Chain A
Amino acid sequence: MNRVRNFKLFLWSLIGLGAAVATARFMFGLGATTNLSDAVPWGLWIGFDVMSGVALAAGGFVLTATVYIFRLEKFHGIVRAAVLTAFLGYVAVAVGLLFDLGLPWNIWHMIVFWNPHSPLFEVGWCVMLYLTVLLLEFLPVPAESFSSLARVRTLLVRLRLPLVIAGISLSTLHQSSLGSLFLIMPSHVHPLWYSPLLPVIFFLSAIALGLMMVTLEGLITSYLYRRPPETELLAKLGRAARWIFLIYLGVRFTDLVVRGQLEHLSEGVWQVKMFWVEIALSAVIPSILLFISKVRNTLTGLWIVAPTAVVGIVLNRINVGGLVHQQRGETLYLPAWTEIIISAAIVAGAALAFLYMVEKFHVWERHPVDPEAQPKAMPAFDIASFASLGSPQIRSRTVYSLAFIFAAALGFSLLSQNALSSRGMDPAPVGKARGWNEMWIDGNLDGFGTSFAHQKHFARGGGDSTSCAICHHANLPHDRFTGCYQCHRDMYSATDAFRHNWHASPAGAALRCFDCHRLGEVKSAATAKSCSQCHQDLKPSGVVIAVKNNQAASYTEAMHGLCLGCHKEQAAALNKADLARCGNCHRERKPLVDDPVLAKRYEVLESKGVIVPKVSEPRFPGFPVPTPPESQMSLQDRP
């Protein structure tokens, strides 16, 4: 079994899926591809890609400090790999951020338009500078392979110490200021996580995570390339890390005690369970296990500790980054699969770049055995066609690209039709208006609506059937009292009032194409019969409003269009300017809380912590609101 090839196949498949989702994200935006909302603007992409990405790359500055500042030369063998991991990690952060920014092409703004009061400004600048520093720190490694770059390499090696110092200072600054970002939202972050010490906590956990990430990366690559694992070195890293885990744990709990927030631990909410899981994974289990020398010094032990700690601290970043924020309204944010795929694809891209660098350049003291460059390998043949796939290198190329395109096609097929066409508009189904003489029109049943003097308008229009036809422009077949909501079925988007597939289906109207369309012409709405040619009862007689096509406008649009036209005319004719203004109809009252359905809904909303505004006074003092007589408010007075 070729471990490297299988692993790369897996990574290429992830990138393929990611490419499909990325296309949708940049074409149709965040609303179509994420579960983010105005209540939860920061989700997985911030919590994982950016916050955890930066922390995962902390191994770079920790190990450069160890080797080049403290001169612990025994770690020299892994420092190049650590710097490479850090560099690729920061590139992944930058790429991940581009996905989350609403206007990614404005990312350069922070370079020119300074806002020195913002922690994000500092983070942005530090990340940018540190990325440059990391590039310069790593550049000597690939430069070894090109004789033309010998001078550059010599210069960079001479500059190493200043670069390392710059790298450490920049890292310290922004690792902690990622924590400072959340100082601004004490009312958002759950009190078990919020602390004035967030910068310190972030910095400490970043060091621990950096060490664990270097360990994990050593373990994975030694498995992949079947090279002897550096267990001894990794054990030494673990020995240092255990103290940091302990300090971290101490700081977390001392902070809780000092701030007097321990009482939150007795609450029965899910955040408390999350807190315990996170503390166990990110500090308790790793520190205990690392104190046992048998665990620390064996491969199996390290395989248990390192992933646990990495998952734990990443969980901490995701929690602080958005998961345990309070006051998020009704909904709990869980990342959509598309968000997870993008994050995974970015990590996969970084991993592939890492493997490429490792195979191509002297990142490790000994070059790994590259299964793709074995000169004596037999050429491979395609199973189906017996076509030669050529040397192992050509074969890998063929197979990886195949995995990529299949995954990308799968990704496109999995994206829902909504994500591809509706541009993320949530459906808002419309309910029926209630009442007869006095109607209550509140399309999405949120309690805010308009009281409409139905009978009075009827009387003003003349009081006979022609008066009905002023507003009621279409009936459903075999119906004479079709309500607005039956065609205008969505509050904010147009709906299909015709149902073409139903008409053409054997289970529906079972019509043949050319019953409606004309033979020999392109089938479209324009070349089809009009509805009224079959449905004679569709239009009430004397109708004023002409139906242009089968797309019923949104409920709000239809209602405003219907009312405002007349109201504007009348406002001019009667010289009553208020008649056409918002406040004339929208009086922001809840006169229908005695409606059992609505009262129930209010109860549910209020129990979920949603603030239901209690407005009893007219919002617009200039317009006195007449209280409708009780008799007109009754719902059941329809004849």
Chain B
Amino acid sequence: MQAWIDFGEGPLFRFSFVLMLLGLGRIFVLTLVNVAEAYRRSPDKILNYREIRHKTIAWLIPTSRLWRKRPVYSGISFLFHLGLILGPLFLTAHVNLWKLSVGFAWFTLPQGLANLLTLAAIIGALALFLMRVFYSPARALSRRQDYAWPLLLAIPFLTGYLMVNNTLTAGAYQAMMLVHLYTAAFIMLLIPFTKIAHCVLVPLSQLVTAVSWKFPAGTGARVLETLGLSERPTWVDKPRLDIAPVKLPDLIKVQSQKKEAKAS
């Protein structure tokens, strides 16, 4: 057992940590380069940078936008992210390990606050998972990995919390430590290659959207065909929301009625 823990603390941790750092750097640079290339090719060069900046910041603040529409979700999500990021980064035990291995340390949180943040992350993860399962609009948009992520992220936090705050036998402690180390390494391996890469891509998110509006018309028309997936049904074909699809002629009728009402 101790040998597996040593492997997880040593080579495995170094591998996954370095892969995460470099992978996040890589995805950021690649995104930037590809955005620049798409921008260079598009005929329309006008981008409203001020609006992009404003939107990027606004989506990060829980009290704006989302707060008004879905306050509960927004609050939970914010607390979850807070625990997820601050907890592991500024936990005294983690920082001490860095101090021992590379020789420098940084600011740490008091143990009580770190506990609270960890709890926020665990409860937040569970709540987000349940919301995804029981809220049908969210379900319609979810892939398999979207359900798996909150649960996977909760595991190292749960084991960490138990190790710090509970009296465990030596064997149970080692088992916990093993799970903690290996799930953390697994998460770090996945981060740069999955949607968790949004941790560095957030500043670019609105820019990417803005540039993709500038794609020449018909750019994506033959994607499914090129992929050889033209037979595959898409979510557009089978609406999962219990909303009657609006037909185009109806829409035109409604708009013309509105116009008439205005004119009169």
Contact = CB atoms under 8 A, between A and B. Distances in A.
B15 A510 contact: no
Contacts of A505: 1-2, 170, 174
A513 B10 contact: no
A147 to B, nearest CB: 21
Contacts, number: 95
A501 B2 contact: yes
Nearest to A414: B11
A534 to B, nearest CB: 15
Contact of B165 (A398, A519, A524): A519
Contact of B14 (A402, A415, A510): A415
Interface in A50-102: none
Contacts of A420: 101-102
Contacts of A519: 165, 167
Given A405-B19, A524-B96, A506 B11 contact: no
Interface string A477-514: 00000000000000000000000010011111111111
A112 B44 CA distance: 55
A409 B96 contact: no
Interface in B1-30: 1-2, 10-12, 14-16, 18-19, 22-23, 26, 29-30
B30 A409 contact: no
A401 B173 CA distance: 39
A523 interface: yes
Q: Is the interface of B mostly helix, strand, loop or mixed?
A: helix
Nearest to B192: A405
Contacts of A398: 30
A338 to B, nearest CB: 15
Contacts of A20: 18
A522 interface: yes
A42 B167 CA distance: 55
Interface in A364-420: 378-379, 381, 386, 388, 390, 394, 397-398, 401-402, 404-406, 408-410, 412-415, 417, 420
A501 B174 CA distance: 10
A390 B227 contact: no
A639 interface: no
A397 B14 contact: no
Interface in B189-208: 192
A409 B167 contact: no
B170 A506 contact: yes
Contacts of A523: 93, 164
A420 B26 CA distance: 25
Contact of A408 (B1, B18, B226): B18
A405 B167 contact: no
Nearest to A503: B170
Contacts of A511: 170
A421 B99 CA distance: 11
A47 B227 CA distance: 52
Contact of B167 (A509, A510, A514): A514
B223 interface: yes
A401 B15 contact: no
A513 B163 contact: yes
A504 B172 CA distance: 11
Given A405-B23, A511-B170, A512-B170, A413 B227 contact: no
B171 A506 contact: yes
A405 B26 contact: yes
Interface in A511-553: 511-514, 519-524
B11 A409 contact: no
Q: Which of B15, B22, B167 has the largest count of A CB atoms less than 10 A from its CB?
A: B22
Nearest to A394: B34
A413 B170 contact: no
A436 B192 CA distance: 64
B22 A409 contact: yes
Interface in B41-79: none
A72 B118 CA distance: 76
Nearest to A19: B22
Given A405-B18, A409-B19, A413-B15, 19 more contacts: A386-B229, A394-B37, A397-B30, A397-B33, A404-B22, A405-B26, A413-B11, A414-B11, A417-B10, A504-B170, A504-B173, A506-B169, A509-B170, A511-B170, A514-B167, A520-B112, A520-B165, A521-B111, A522-B93
Interface of B: 1-2, 10-12, 14-16, 18-19, 22-23, 26, 29-30, 33-34, 37, 92-93, 96, 100-102, 111-112, 163-165, 167-171, 173-174, 192, 223, 226-227, 229
Closest 7 CB pairs of A and B: A413-B15, A409-B19, A405-B22, A413-B11, A506-B171, A409-B18, A522-B92
Interface of A: 20, 378-379, 381, 386, 388, 390, 394, 397-398, 401-402, 404-406, 408-410, 412-415, 417, 420-421, 501, 504-514, 519-524
25 contacts: A379-B226, A381-B227, A386-B229, A394-B34, A397-B30, A398-B30, A404-B22, A405-B18, A409-B15, A409-B18, A412-B15, A412-B18, A413-B14, A413-B18, A414-B11, A420-B102, A505-B170, A509-B170, A510-B169, A511-B170, A512-B168, A520-B112, A522-B111, A523-B164, A524-B96
